[in-house]
A and B are shown apart, each in its own frame.
Chain A
Amino acid sequence: AQRVTQPEKLLSVFKGAPVELKCNYSYSGSPELFWYVQYSRQRLQLLLRHISRESIKGFTADLNKGETSFHLKKPFAQEEDSAMYYCALGGGGGNKLTFGTGTQLKVEL
């Protein structure tokens, strides 16, 4: 069975500090991984996907198949980065996604 683990429920960092949100996955096939973000009072939206290998709002994520990880990183946190972040794994047919339990990022001034 596929599984996504986000070990931190809450991550607090100061503005300007580096951010790393951890995500580990379990999947027997070739994984499709995503990061979704939910800002306060907004709907869940895609932040980035591993296949695109892009940087969005300064965030990057690298798929490490050896460690089965897809950590989200940003070198300098901004106040507007405060949000709930979900890691998601695609697979299993039906275009389904399996979400992790989420990490609440709080950027303090």
Chain B
Amino acid sequence: NAGVTQTPKFQVLKTGQSMTLQCAQDMNHNSMYWYRQDPGMGLRLIYYSASEGTTDKGEVPNGYNVSRLNKREFSLRLESAAPSQTSVYFCATAVGGAIIYEQYFGPGTRLTVT
């Protein structure tokens, strides 16, 4: 079992370019999340999907869009990248439901926007 996988691992974009970060899980979890990690800021939630077919904004959604393609996959899209989006992006999953269970994290994508 791969757990939570993310592609790509590294990416360099120029301002204004677009790209999609992919996340997939084989844990049969209902909930999926996208975070960004910045020095001194910790992890901040961008978007989440509590269950297949639903998505909601997190703390810092501006400049991003998401798609919950199916139960396994949750993608994050940057339509027009900006230097402020330089960060490490983490996908995470959780069982979901009423009880707050552990979140399982992917290895991260390091994105640089020049």
Chain A residues within 8 Å of B, Cβ to Cβ: 6, 9, 32, 34, 43-46, 49, 86, 90-91, 93-102
* Given contact pairs A43-B106, A90-B100, a sample of 6 additional A-B residue pairs in the complex whose CB atoms are under 8 Å apart: A6-B42, A43-B105, A46-B102, A94-B31, A95-B97, A101-B42
Chain A hits for B101, CB < 8 A: 95
Decide: A95 near B94, CB < 8 A? Known: A43-B106, A44-B105, A46-B103: yes
Interfacial residues of chain B within 38-59, with CB under 8 A of chain A in the complex: 40-45, 48, 50, 56, 58-59
Q: Report the separation of the CA atoms of residues A100 and B37 in the bound assembly, to the nearest whole angstrom.
A: 11
> Most chain-A CB neighbours within 10 Å: which of B45, B56, B94, B100?
B100
Taking CB as reference atom, which chain A residue is nearest B31? A95
A49, A94, A98, A101: which contacts B50 (Cβ < 8 A)?
A94
Decide: A101 near B108, CB < 8 A? Known: A46-B103, A96-B48: no
Size bracket of the B interface = 20 to 34
Shortest B94–chain A CB gap in Å is 5
Chain B hits for A97, CB < 8 A: 45, 100, 103
Shortest B90–chain A CB gap in Å is 7
Q: Report the separation of the CA atoms of residues A6 and B92 in the bound assembly, to the nearest whole angstrom.
A: 22
Chain A hits for B42, CB < 8 A: 6, 86, 99-102
Shortest A7–chain B CB gap in Å is 13
A44, A94, A100: which contacts B90 (Cβ < 8 A)?
A44
Decide: A95 near B41, CB < 8 A? Known: A43-B105, A43-B106, A45-B105: no
Chain B hits for A34, CB < 8 A: 102
Chain B hits for A102, CB < 8 A: 42-43
B41, B92, B100, B107: which contacts A101 (Cβ < 8 A)?
B41
Chain B hits for A101, CB < 8 A: 40-42
| 12 pairs of residues in contact across A and B, judged by CB atoms under 8 Å | A6-B42, A46-B103, A90-B100, A94-B50, A95-B95, A95-B101, A96-B48, A97-B45, A99-B43, A100-B42, A101-B40, A102-B43
